[in-house]
């Protein structure tokens, strides 16, 4: 494991958050006032469409930032199989350009990646140095984005791989289950894919907490999700139990619910590196689920 130098920065930083209306960008916005030492600019697609590479570069002509937190991404896993070019533009080429801009302007760069860079066939939680082998277009374009950052080799840059992201914002598994559970008497949910959910609020807080300590000569990769391990079936059971939704959940296998893109069967991420290097603790998935359900008004 590489040793990083830790320096705490105390001066005000100007931070650009891309993908500001997505799950993670929205969560960062909700806690931004807790970090008065930072001056945030939240750019949604109308302000900064990173799929338009020409306008992306122009955006920085008259703007100066100390930090870019890139929350913008193409995340439609199945649609990506038919929209290869668009997924590649957003997840790879735009990321490469952002990294080059960050290097040119001496900015800290934080990029969010995914467990889909792995093939899902592991037998132990993935560490950052494990071999990647994405099984679909989404995973490949995210891996290409990671590699682009590594190739640019800018200082003070980190890549955070995460998994099963949910939030009170946007579309996600938790909100889908809440809706379906209230509409139907029974649902089939996959039990042979295991991993750990990530409450976007926890990830947002972690990013802002570790930001002052980022001081590395070359890009570093970290893994982050909540603690614990469950299947999608277990996750659904917990959502309904906590929300007191009376809906029968039947366990099904992956082949009983075919999708256009292949999903990893095993998505556990080892978080030891980020916990040790930045001295953070990570909440247990069920505790974070309760917090999200409270935000959604499902429990008191």
The span from the CA of 146 to the CA of 116, in Å, is 12
Please check whether residue 114 is in contact with residue 160, taking contact to mean a CB–CB distance below 8 angstroms: no
The continuous run of DSSP H or E covering 291 comes out as helix 285-295
Q: pLDDT at position 144, please? A: 98
Query: Given this model, what pLDDT does residue 12 score?
Result: 75
Residues 274/285, Cβ–Cβ less than 8 Å: no
Domains, in order of start, for the chain: 13-171+197-226+269-283 (3.40.50.720)
CA dihedral (186, 189, 191, 192) in degrees, to 10, reads 140
With b meaning 16 or more CB within 10 Å and e meaning fewer, what string describes 174-202?
A: bbebbeebeeeeebebbbebbbbbbbbbb
What's the confidence (pLDDT) of residue 6?
Answer: 39
| 165 Cβ contact list (under 8 Å, min separation 6) | 23, 24, 172, 197, 198, 200, 203
pTM over 0.85: yes
Under 8 Å between Cβ of 117 and 77: no
Give me the pLDDT at residue 1, please.
43
Per DSSP, the residues of 13-66 read EEEEEESTTSHHHHHHHHHGGG-TTEEEEEE-TTT--TT-HHHHHHHTTT---S
pLDDT at 222 (0 to 100)? 98
Question: How do strand 194-195 and strand 230-231 relate by DSSP bridges?
Answer: antiparallel
| pLDDT score of 300 | 86
Which segments of the chain have a pLDDT < 70? 1-11
For residue 275, the model assigns a pLDDT of 98
User: pLDDT tens, 196-252?
Assistant: 999 999 999 999 999 999 999 999 999 999 999 999 999 999 999 999 999 999 999
The phi, psi pair for 71, rounded to 5°, reads: -100, -5
Conformational region of residue 261, where left means phi above 0, alpha means psi within -120 to 50, and beta covers everything else: beta
Which pLDDT does position 11 carry in this prediction? 62
Distances (CA, A) of 223 to 62, 147, 177, 183, 216: 34, 16, 26, 36, 17
| Catalytic annotation, residues | 138
pLDDT for the residue numbered 2: 43
E strands along the chain, which residues? 13-18, 38-43, 67-70, 108-114, 157-162, 165-166, 186-190, 194-195, 198-199, 220-223, 230-231, 248-252
């Amino acid at each position: 494991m590489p040793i990083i130098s830790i320096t705490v920065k105390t001066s005000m930083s100007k931070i650009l958050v891309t993908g500001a209306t997505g799950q993670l960008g929205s969560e960062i916005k909700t806690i931004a006032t807790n970090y008065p030492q930072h001056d945030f600019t939240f750019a949604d697609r109308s302000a900064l469409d990173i799929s338009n590479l020409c306008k992306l570069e122009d955006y920085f002509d008259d703007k100066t930032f100390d930090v870019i937190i890139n929350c913008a991404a193409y995340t439609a896993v199945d649609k990506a199989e038919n929209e290869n070019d668009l997924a590649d533009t957003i997840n790879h080429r735009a990321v490469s350009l952002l990294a080059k801009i960050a290097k040119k302007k001496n900015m800290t760069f934080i990029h969010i990646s995914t467990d889909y860079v792995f093939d899902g066939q592991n037998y132990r939680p993935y560490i950052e140095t494990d071999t990647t082998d994405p099984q679909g277009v989404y995973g490949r374009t995210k891996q290409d984005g990671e590699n682009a950052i590594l190739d640019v080799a800018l200082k003070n840059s980190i890549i955070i791989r995460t998994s099963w992201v949910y939030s009170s914002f946007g579309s996600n598994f938790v909100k889908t289950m809440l809706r379906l559970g209230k509409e139907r008497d029974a649902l089939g949910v996959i039990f042979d894919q295991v991993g750990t959910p990530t409450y976007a609020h926890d990830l947002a807080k972690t990013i802002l907490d570790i930001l002052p300590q980022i001081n590395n000569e070359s890009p570093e990769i970290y893994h982050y999700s909540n603690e614990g391990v469950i299947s999608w079936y277990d996750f659904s059971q917990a959502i309904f139990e906590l929300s007191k939704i009376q809906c029968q959940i039947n366990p099904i296998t992956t082949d009983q619910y075919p999708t256009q893109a292949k999903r990893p069967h095993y998505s556990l991420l080892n978080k030891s590196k980020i916990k040790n290097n930045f001295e953070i603790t990570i909440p247990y998935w069920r505790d974070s689920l309760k917090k999200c359900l409270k935000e959604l008004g499902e429990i008191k």
